[in-house]
Structure 1
């Protein structure tokens, strides 16, 4: 994408002294519900009211949204509170209906982002619009797919763009509904720093008790905004009840969250930071040397296995290593999640080295 600075203009227009906050129910249920929540959010840091009108559900039979009728409810809420509005669109028909009802911001969901064909259809339907369009990350951890969706929209002359980080599905379950995989949005932010980045902590968490910590992490990483699911009666919400919080809770969150400065001009700060970064550089170089040494040992193991016609994968040995490393990691303050991911990557690289030795003539 060229002329990336054009992408930032829509966020600057809010002229906020805090991150952009988008909030509202997972699903629009009734007009009374939408308007009530909007009024509870009116005098807060919230600038945009969100509500799902069409809800793509994993399995049939669950509540799939009220449909176009809900757009009129959002329009009423906008008129009564002055909040801007946003909803998810998943096809050109949704786009047409949202534009007809003057929805201010349209977002593209994670299930839609995975399909370049559907993204292209939506981009064609939005071609040249001055509305803001936000793209959620795809369900799978694929940065290229995420950026590809943004690029298709940008090519359609849509300049008011942003991205939403809602986490990624994984085969192995963790404490999150969707794993954050923080490095992926960080890589995106590094490549396109003028593309606004918004966190959706509700879909990452899947439960309300860890939403605050996710929001703080996002602000520590210089995210531009938050999209938080809020409901006046979360426990009785028609969809995703466990991950919604009340407007009052969100308002308190915004008071308690710490907004970090990007940089300090203090000389003492810069000296300390430079010193610590130099130590990090030394440690990183040492890590590379150790990993290279480990892979050289793997090469030798591969030769021994090849000579004796023994298979590369030794499951019992691998499970022993993994269990021991998790215990060792806990003793030095390293999380189980980190150790598992690190050593699985190391193990895969070791397998690759041994396979190469096996195939050599």
Structure 2
């Protein structure tokens, strides 16, 4: 799957270098007045696409699940009267048909749909022959293969104008985010498909309007192509996701403060200095890997000792000691202890695997 980076809908929108693609609008289209009021405010800003949810897949049945078909007509009015291009979420074949009938410029597939290959394939089949750009949000769970599979299904239907939206992932761990960003997954997606535009949805990642700016800036620092920010004239009265929406005025502040970094060094001295530092990083990585090899050799020795003395592999007290002391050691030298804790979880899993192999070996 190779994405065309020229002469596509998204490439045209991204042609204005130095500024991100901006998608903004309310979480849900609630009334014609609300939609028009928001769109009129956003018309004055650097907004490429006006977004509004028409059908809203909610966790609980008594929640506001969208205004339905009537809302598509409101988006049509935004397009005709204000000249804004419009986008909405589709979750089934009927949604696709109705959105195409109303001339919606861009469709997006939501996280709850992306998680279901059967649903995505039905949407892909409904898109056969259409010339509409499609954005695919990551699935709710952190599964890169599932995300890629959904993008491939849409691409294979003949829709070559595709973009990915990173909206974070559900997690059983309590964090400051509504949906954990798990940045390494979209980074790997970008690495595998360099022509694929990737847009961040900081509203759903944050779940809190105060975190929208820092999440957006981090995404742009990682080379993302744009932002999708939920915007409502009176967020406190929104019928869905009130806490994560911002006013048009606050959106303007966020956009004016966002910085788009250069994609590469443009000065010979900077290039040389960066290369020098990269060589030092390579040398440090060699030392880390050599140290890990030494540690695993010691792990294998202790595995043999446990086997000889009929002792189980997992020693919980020892693991607790390692988990605590390594984090403390990290703090002492200015390294994030949480990072070291996560690193040692991986090291511990590999140590258990290696000792288990030793236990299975025949004498």
What TM-score does the superposition give when structure 1 sets the normalisation length? 0.95
- 1:58 positional shift: 2.2
Deviation readout 1:35-77 (Å, 9 max, x if unpaired): 1111111111111111111111223322221222211122222
- What does residue 352 of structure 2 align with? 351
- 1:177 positional shift: 1.4
Could you tell me which runs of 5 or more consecutive residues in structure 2 were left unpaired when the two chains were aligned.
Answer: none
- What does residue 235 of structure 1 align with? 236
Question: In the aligned structure 2, how far is the partner of 1:349 from the partner of 1:42?
Answer: 54
Could you tell me which runs of 5 or more consecutive residues in structure 1 were left unpaired when the two chains were aligned.
Answer: none
**Contact conserved, 1:39 with 1:81, CA < 8 A, in 2?**
yes
Deviation readout 1:214-243 (Å, 9 max, x if unpaired): 111111111111101111111221111111
Deviation readout 1:236-276 (Å, 9 max, x if unpaired): 21111111111111111111111111123211100110011
Question: Does residue 197 in structure 1 map to residue 198 in structure 2?
Answer: yes
- What does residue 4 of structure 2 align with? 5
- What does residue 158 of structure 1 align with? 159
Deviation readout 1:176-200 (Å, 9 max, x if unpaired): 1111111111111111111111011
Question: In the aligned structure 1, how far is the partner of 2:149 from the partner of 2:6?
Answer: 16
- What does residue 293 of structure 1 align with? 294
**Contact conserved, 2:53 with 2:66, CA < 8 A, in 1?**
yes
Say which SS state the counterpart of residue 5 (structure 1) adopts: coil
Question: In the aligned structure 2, how far is the partner of 1:20 from the partner of 1:113?
Answer: 22
Question: In the aligned structure 2, how far is the partner of 1:202 from the partner of 1:270?
Answer: 36
- What does residue 16 of structure 1 align with? 16
Equivalent positions of 1:125-164 (< 5 A) are 125-164=126-165
- What does residue 88 of structure 1 align with? 89
Assess, with a 3 A threshold, how the Cα gap between structure 1 residues 337 and 169 changes in structure 2: closer, same or farther: farther
Question: In the aligned structure 2, how far is the partner of 1:324 from the partner of 1:8?
Answer: 55
Assess, with a 3 A threshold, how the Cα gap between structure 1 residues 205 and 7 changes in structure 2: closer, same or farther: farther
- What does residue 64 of structure 2 align with? 63
**Contact conserved, 1:7 with 1:160, CA < 8 A, in 2?**
no
**Contact conserved, 1:27 with 1:55, CA < 8 A, in 2?**
yes
- What does residue 180 of structure 1 align with? 181
Question: In the aligned structure 2, how far is the partner of 1:6 from the partner of 1:118?
Answer: 28
- 1:98 positional shift: 1.0
**Contact conserved, 2:4 with 2:160, CA < 8 A, in 1?**
no
- 1:7 positional shift: 7.3
- 1:23 positional shift: 0.6
Question: In the aligned structure 1, how far is the partner of 2:6 from the partner of 2:355?
Answer: 47
- What does residue 245 of structure 2 align with? 244
Assess, with a 3 A threshold, how the Cα gap between structure 1 residues 69 and 308 changes in structure 2: closer, same or farther: farther
What TM-score does the superposition give when structure 2 sets the normalisation length? 0.95
Assess, with a 3 A threshold, how the Cα gap between structure 1 residues 306 and 179 changes in structure 2: closer, same or farther: same
Question: In the aligned structure 2, how far is the partner of 1:214 from the partner of 1:250?
Answer: 14
Aligned length: 360
Say which SS state the counterpart of residue 26 (structure 1) adopts: coil
**Contact conserved, 1:8 with 1:194, CA < 8 A, in 2?**
no
- 1:324 positional shift: 2.5
Assess, with a 3 A threshold, how the Cα gap between structure 1 residues 348 and 235 changes in structure 2: closer, same or farther: same
- 1:6 positional shift: 5.5
Say which SS state the counterpart of residue 86 (structure 2) adopts: strand
**Contact conserved, 2:96 with 2:127, CA < 8 A, in 1?**
yes
Which segment is superposed worse, 161-170 or 338-347? 338-347
Question: In the aligned structure 2, how far is the partner of 1:315 from the partner of 1:89?
Answer: 49
- RMSD (Å), alpha carbons: 1.6
Assess, with a 3 A threshold, how the Cα gap between structure 1 residues 220 and 76 changes in structure 2: closer, same or farther: same
Question: Does residue 335 in structure 1 map to residue 336 in structure 2?
Answer: yes
Question: In the aligned structure 1, how far is the partner of 2:84 from the partner of 2:333?
Answer: 48
Question: Does residue 36 in structure 1 map to residue 37 in structure 2?
Answer: yes
Runs of 4+ with >4 A deviation: none
